[in-house]
Structure formats: structure tokens, C-alpha cells
Amino acid sequence: MDIKWRNIKYKKGTKMSAVILAWLCFLSAFGGAIFLIRNDQVLISESFYSYPKNISNFSSHVVSVVDYYIWLKGAKSGSEIMESSKGEEESIISNKLTAFFNSTERLSKAVNLAYYIKNNETGEVITNVKDEKPIELLNRQRQYIYIIPNIDLHETNFTKIYRVSEVMEKMRGTSYEVHIAVIEPLKPGDEFYDDFTYYNRVKTISALVIPSMIIAFILLLATLIYLCYAAGKNEKGEKLPLNFLDRIYVDIHTLVVLILLATYAFCFIKTIDLYYDNVTRSVFSIIILLSLAFFTALTYSLSLVRQKRNGKALENILILKVLKKIKEFIKLCFNGKIFRVWILLLLPLYAFANVILACIAGAAVRYYSGIKVFYVIAFLLAGINAAAFLFTAKALKSLSIIMEGTKQISRGNLDYEMNSGRMSPVFAAFAENICNIQGGLKKAVDNAIKGERLKTELITNVSHDLKTPLTSIINYVDLMKAEKIESKKAKEYIGILEEKSARLKVLIEDLVEASKASSGNIAVNLKKVGLYELVMQAYGEYQEKAEKAGLDIRINASDKNILVRADGKHMWRILENLLSNILKYSMPGSRVYINISKSPTDGILTIKNISALPLEIPAEQLTERFVRGDMSRTTEGSGLGLSIAQSLANMQGGKLDIQIDGDLFKVIVEIPLWKE
């Protein structure tokens, strides 16, 4: 069922039906909108008598009654007006003639207008009402006006009309009172009846148009969403290849569509202006224009949807392609050898443009008094130099960013971000090369760290695997010692086994500890530790061994109350390794100096001794694992002591440094001072 529905919804027939439905809904919604806009005055009027056109029509009839029966005093023809107006200005005579012809024509066509005019001085009455009580009849009508001259507007019972000031001006100084009304029910034959019929028809139609517009708009929105969803898919829901229209550059396509829509809009406005000249032709033209606009906009929108679905929307913009090519060309111009040629061409061109523009400006002012030309040239000069200034400023800013980036990289900050894409074209290629170097360094460091971690894990795992059989060997050696063995050779062999297994055990323990120390997999409990007391304790442990080795250890402390922030157990191991190293490699009969001092931030322990063997190895290599000062490796030792000591010092926030001067071996340990 799902496959069947999918095949139906992506079929061409379904899409075509949706297009036709969307077109009809668009015409309905737009046509309804035009109808409502053109009849907005009907829609906002509460009744026919508040309808602005009716008010305007009634106002015109009121003015015509006042003009004909009061201002022109019942003139029978234009010649009478000319005769009675001798001596008056031509403009006044022209206004009277215009008013006479307008009022005569308007009143002759009035069927539903009734008036009652009375001269209060002479008793003369002018009316077209045949009722015995004309004033009462007129007063009962909903559209009725009562005018008395020389009385303020607010003191009369005026219904709403326009041109009130004109009416009051023409009645000023007369003795007439005027009653005018529209008699109901309205009879066919004049503007009042036509307007009333049109008003009711519009009200009736609008009651249907508004819900129809809402339904049409909802259907239009739904069909457009469906068309956008189904655009570019075949009956199986797979993407379709782009057609010819989709391969047109988006910006060119957009420009063409805008021109077409502007043309349609212009023709539409012209058609609306000529609507009443030929209604049928105008309606037909409006439908054609709206249909063309709809299909133009729909094909454009669906083309964009298809390009977006295929991931070609940004690639199909001509201006972006041109800008990209220009950017690549500029980068090429500022890259390597071409950069110098480009600068050599650009600088003379810049200077030449300034000189030429300055000469034109000077000539315009001097010979032609062309001040406007001068201002234009001055504006161009300012623009060129401002552009050159901004270009140079951006280049210098880019250079400062590159300098900061190289500074950070030199300090080991390989994660520092330097966006070469936002650089000035002058230094974009340079910045990109720096970023490539940074990426290469980072990759190399990551590989080195990974290799170091793997090596540490290997040492830890192998040491752990060796420890188990070694323990068994040591236990069996102890069991063999407990046996009564009479052979001296056998006892000698057991002693050698015991000695070598013990040495191997120490080596494995050192391996495990070195691995943990280098990886930071050791707990550190920092406390207040007296550096002098710790050194004296270690000296006490190794004093007897030092005397046997013929070494004279001398301890010098500038301050015996130096407190450091350290882990006592790890500090003891550092001293143990250093003193053990001294006993193994110092020249017999020499002196060993241990100095204890401090700097503003650290407690400093310095140990100096004379090596028994030549130190033909760089100082920095002595802290590497399995490296020994005895290159022939004839002495005991694993080459891990100094490496462990350095790692432990680093874990406590300090450092261990080694210096070699001939046969003088010097170790400096710095540990942060304790701060309350």
C-alpha cells in the first residue's frame, strides 16, 4: 500500500493536477482580493447611507438644489445668467454657467430626490413633494438634511454630507430654508437606485468571496508544499537529473524572472486603469497576466527546489563563480614570483591614476571653470586612495595575525586557529602555508605522543608479565637455599641465581615505576615538606655506603627552614635515585656537594659530583629511559633512575635539570615553595 501511494504521489499526472489546482486557487484568491480592494468602501460601510459614494452623490445633489434654486435664483438658460451677471468677473460668470449646466442635468435625472425650499421673507415655496405635509415626510427619511443660512454648522440637524462650506457660503445672506431628502423605497431610474443596487450586490457577493478566498489560499498553500516536496523526484521517489531550465545560472534566471514579473505588473496596472472601458476584455487580460505571473514564479521556485535537492544551488550562481575565479587570480598574483611582478605593475598604475585624475581636476578648474567636474574627480581620487588605504590596512592586519600565529606555534600551541580564508589576498597564500606547516607539526606531535603511549603500555604490560615468573624463580631459589646441599658449586650457583633474580626484580620494578611516572598514572599527595630535613634523612641512609665508596658528601644550606609543596614519598624516591646514582658513578675519593637554597618561587636542590668515567653523552639524553653514563654498561644500573626522578619532579609541578662540564656532573631539582 505504501509503495502504491508513493507511486501515485510522484506521478506526472498527480503533479500536473496539483499545478492546475494551484493555478485555479491562485486566480480565485487573487481575484477575490482585487474584488475586495476595489470595493473596500462598501465593505467598511455599516449601511448604504454611510457608503462614501452615496454620501458624495447626495452632497452633489444638495449643491445642485442650492445652486439652481437659490444661488442662480431659478435661471431658465445660460443667456439669462450672462444677462444678469453683467459687471461681474469672468471667473464668477464661468462658475455660474458651470453650476447651472451641472445642476440642470443632475436634477433632471433625479427620481428619488425630494426637496422643499421656502423663502421666509416672501413666503415663496419651491418643492417637488406632492404630500400635504412635505417637511414631515422629508424628516422621516434616513438621508435628510435641513439647512438654515447664517447658523453655525453644529447647530443644524445636518446628516453627513461633503462640500458643507460651499453650501453655507452660497446661502449666506439669504432668507431661505432648505429641506432635502432621499425618499424610500428607492425607485429605479437615477444614481441613488443604481448605487443602492450595487451596494447590496457587493455585500452579498463579499459574504461568499471571503470564505472562498480563505479556502483557496489554504488549498494553494497545500498544493505548493506538495509540489516543492515532489519536485525533482520520479515515481519511485528517486532524484531526477536536472533539466535545461535548472542548468541556467540562478542569478541570470532570477533577473529574467524579475523583469517578466515587473512587465506583468505594469500591464496589470494599465489594465486596471482601463477596466471600465471594456470590462470583458479587461477581465480576460487580467486572467492571462495573473496566469503568466503564477507559472513564471512557480517554475522558478520549483527549479530552485530541484537544484537545492541535487546540491547544485550554490554551484549554479554565476556571480559566485566569477568572484571565486577573481579570488583565485588575486591569490595567484600574490603568490611567489608573480607577487613581485604584480606589485611592480600595481604601484605605477596606482600612481599614474592619481596623477591623471589630479591633472584633469586642475585643468577643469583652470580652463573650463568646471567646479562640478572637479568635485567628481576629487570624489574618485578620494575613493581610490581610500580603497588603497583599506587594502593596505587589511594586509597589515593579516600580517599581524600571521605573526601572532607563528608566535603561538613556536610556543607549542599547535591548536591555535588562524583562518586563512579571511586574510588579505596579499598574505592568504602565506597564511595557508603556515597553516599547512602547523597541521603537519600537529600530526607529527600526535604520532609521537601516540608512539610514546604505545611504548609505555608495552613496557608496563611486559614488566607485568615478567614479574609473575620472576616471583616464582625467587621463591624456588629460597626453597633451594633451605635444602641441605653439600656441593659448594651448587651453593655458588644458587647465590648467583639469587643475586641476578634480585637485580632483575629491581629492574622490573623500576620499569613499572618509570612507565607510571612518565604517563602520570601515579597519585600525588602534595603537602608541606621540609627540604633540608628530607635531604638530611636521605644522607643518613646513604652515609655508610658513601664512606665505603670513598666519597666525601658535603651539605650546604643557605636556609634550613625551606618548605616546599611536594609529595614526601616521591621526593624521597627522587633523592634515593640521585644518591644511588652518585654512589655508582662518582670517582672514588672525590667530594660530592649538595646545596639547598631557594628562589622567590621554588626550593632548589643542587647535587654536584665528579664522574669516574668520561661523560661522552649530551646531558639531555641522560634523563631518557635505559640511557646510562657508563656507555660500556659494565656497572650496575638500569638507566631508569634519572628518568624516574625527572618524571616525579614534573608531576609535583617542579623540574629536574642536568648539566655536564667535562667530568663534572650537576643535577638541579626545583620544587615549588609551600604557600599558606
Q: What is the Cα 121 distance to its own chain's centre?
A: 84
pLDDT on residue 33: 85
pLDDT digits (tens, 9 = 90+) for 399-409: 777 777 777 77
pLDDT digits (tens, 9 = 90+) for 204-217: 888 888 888 889 88
pLDDT digits (tens, 9 = 90+) for 73-106: 756 565 666 656 655 666 767 777 777 788 888 8
pLDDT digits (tens, 9 = 90+) for 444-482: 777 776 766 666 666 666 666 666 676 777 776 777 777
Pair 6, 183: CB distance under 8 Å: no
The phi, psi pair for 179, rounded to 5°, reads -120, 125
Average pLDDT over residues 177-199: 89
Q: Pick 605 or 468 by higher pLDDT.
A: 605
Q: Pick 478 or 582 by higher pLDDT.
A: 582
Report the alpha-carbon distance of residue 93 to residue 85 in Å, rounded: 7
Average pLDDT taken over every residue of the chain: 77
What residue type is 437 in one-letter code?
I
pLDDT on residue 634: 45
Would the pLDDT of 628 be above 70?
A: no
pLDDT range class, residue 623, cuts 50, 70, 90: low
Which pTM value belongs to this model? 0.45
DSSP secondary structure of 488-526: HHHHHHHHHHHHHHHHHHHHHHHHHHHHHHHHT-S----
Q: What is the Cα 136 distance to its own chain's centre?
A: 75
Average pLDDT over residues 506-520: 61
Report the alpha-carbon distance of residue 190 to residue 183 in Å, rounded: 12
pLDDT on residue 119: 87
Report the alpha-carbon distance of residue 365 to residue 384 in Å, rounded: 21
- Residue bearing cell 422621516: 140
Pairing mode, strands 591-598 and 552-557? parallel
- Cell numbers for 30: 487573487
pLDDT range class, residue 422, cuts 50, 70, 90: low
pLDDT digits (tens, 9 = 90+) for 125-169: 888 888 888 888 888 888 888 888 766 443 344 467 787 788 888
pLDDT on residue 89: 67
pLDDT on residue 41: 87
Query: In angstroms, what CA-CA distances link 492 with 474, 487, 504, 545?
Result: 16, 9, 18, 25
pLDDT digits (tens, 9 = 90+) for 535-557: 888 888 888 888 888 888 888 88
- Cell numbers for 102: 451641472
Cβ neighbors of 630 (< 8 A, separation 6 or more) are 585, 613, 637
Pair 430, 406: CB distance under 8 Å: no
Locate all alpha helices (DSSP H) within 172-278, ordered by sequence: 191-230, 250-273
- Cell numbers for 142: 434616513
| Helix/strand/coil for 370 | coil
CB atoms < 10 A from the CB of 409, how many?
Answer: 19
Whether the ω angle into residue 618 lies within 30 degrees of 0, i.e. cis, is no
Report the alpha-carbon distance of residue 650 to residue 520 in Å, rounded: 9
Query: In angstroms, what CA-CA distances link 147 with 59, 64, 169?
Result: 13, 14, 12
Report the alpha-carbon distance of residue 408 to residue 468 in Å, rounded: 48
DSSP secondary structure of 559-570: -S--EEEE-HHH
The domains of the chain, with CATH numbers, are: 1-240 (no CATH), 523-672 (3.30.565.10)
pLDDT digits (tens, 9 = 90+) for 312-362: 777 777 788 888 877 776 666 555 544 555 555 666 776 777 777 677 666
DSSP secondary structure of 218-229: HHHHHHHHHHHH
Would the pLDDT of 238 be above 50?
A: yes
Would the pLDDT of 295 be above 70?
A: yes
pLDDT on residue 344: 57
